[in-house]
Amino acid sequence: MRSRVASRRCRHLSRSGRGRTARLHLLLQVRQRQRSRRRVKSPNSVRDISNFHLADTYSDCVILDRLSESWSSPAYAFFEPTPEIKYVNGRRCHEFLCSAPGCKTTVRRFVDTATPDNSTGNLFKHARKCWGTQVVQDAVAVKDQGKIREGLAAAKTLKDGTITAMFDRAAGKGAVTYQAKPLTYSETRVESVCWVAESMRPASVLEDRRFLRLMKSGRPSMKIPSARTVQRDAHRVFKRVKGRIAELLQTYDGRLSFATDAWTSPNH
């Protein structure tokens, strides 16, 4: 119960935006309660007990606020902005909740030592499990926690390779037109059908020796659809598109005019 109250009050303080003045005022309140705590040897009422807990709660919040000012590592961007204050076997610790969708894992860090532990090794270790090594490396290159959080929030439904596009935009590299990961076999089949249809290429181009060399160099295990597979996929796509266009034309409210310019058609 005590840790929950501390966590809620710390979140309220971190989101209120009162700045350094509020923190100094809070610190003065803590010191006043600590002085009154020294004068009273034992709590004689429920109010005294609540004062003790209130002083400890605000003290924890002040410590958390001070420590968080030095948290500049990109590792923190993969977790919720404000960690929870917990007590485990009488020891105070901060629990960082992973912000990955569907992940409720917390990474614990004890802070009741003489020198507070600010290492981020465990945070990075868990981030690699949830987001992938490539995403973590790109986040380190961006450095700015705010931009990293924006990229993660906008791409929580994406996987390892495509999420790097968000970080490329944050780093000022402009719009990304290509994926950072290889296409799956299904995606390769779709792109192959679009290629031969839009560029009027024969399906046999997929079996061209030089084309295969271009595609498989560095990726020898990449699976390329055969010409027969592309032809079959193209026929299936044509049937579906023909039915879809017929439906659009039949439901159109108005008259339609069609004309064919045979002289400029590339198939004349």
Q: Where are the domains of the chain?
A: 1-69, 185-250
Residue 52 has pLDDT above 60, yes or no: no
pLDDT for position 229: 95
pLDDT for position 254: 79
Percent of the chain residues past pLDDT 90, beyond the cut: 16
pLDDT for position 233: 94
Residue 96 has pLDDT above 80, yes or no: yes
Query: Which residue type is seen at 26?
Result: L
pLDDT for position 159: 45
Q: Do residues 101 and 157 touch, judged by C-beta distance below 8 A? A: yes
pLDDT for position 146: 77
Mean pLDDT over 190-215 rounds to: 92
Higher pLDDT, 219 or 12: 219
Q: DSSP letter for 79, please.
A: B
Distances (CA, A) of 73 to 136, 138, 139, 234: 12, 13, 10, 50
Q: Do residues 61 and 15 touch, judged by C-beta distance below 8 A? A: no
Question: What mean pLDDT value characterizes the chain?
Answer: 72
Residue 155 has pLDDT above 80, yes or no: no
Residue 183 has pLDDT above 90, yes or no: no
